[in-house]
């Protein structure tokens, strides 16, 4: 399994933006799952910077209903319904 952090409040990658929120792309041989969507459209901007195609995500799992975990859902849905 491969994990890629798209949104967090810190990063070691100077190209990526940070915010109070969380979004992680989980990839297996057969599935691409997005765990949470952060607080804004930052997951889309960071995915573009990492050359990740969010339209190929199979499903989204929201861990809980706080805006720093589900605030980016509406933005994600604009690229993958």
Q: How far apart are CA 36 and CA 7, in angstroms?
A: 9
Query: Per DSSP, which regions of 1-81 are E strands?
Result: 2-7, 23-27, 32-35, 59-61
pLDDT in tens, 2-37: 999 999 999 999 999 999 999 999 999 999 999 999
**pLDDT tens per residue across span 33-44:** 999 999 999 999
Determine the 3-state secondary structure of 7 from DSSP.
strand
The Cα–Cα gap between 74 and 40 comes to 9
Q: What is the pLDDT of residues 33-76, one digit of tens each?
A: 999 999 999 999 999 999 999 999 999 999 999 999 999 999 99
């Amino acid at each position: 399994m491969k994990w890629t952090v798209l949104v967090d409040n810190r990063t070691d990658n100077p190209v990526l933006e940070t915010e109070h929120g969380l979004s992680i792309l989980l990839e297996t041989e057969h599935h691409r799952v997005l765990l949470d969507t952060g607080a804004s459209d930052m997951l889309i901007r960071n995915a573009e910077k990492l050359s990740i195609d969010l339209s190929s995500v199979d499903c989204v799992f929201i861990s809980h209903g706080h805006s720093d975990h589900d605030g980016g859902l509406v933005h994600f849905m604009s690229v993958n319904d």
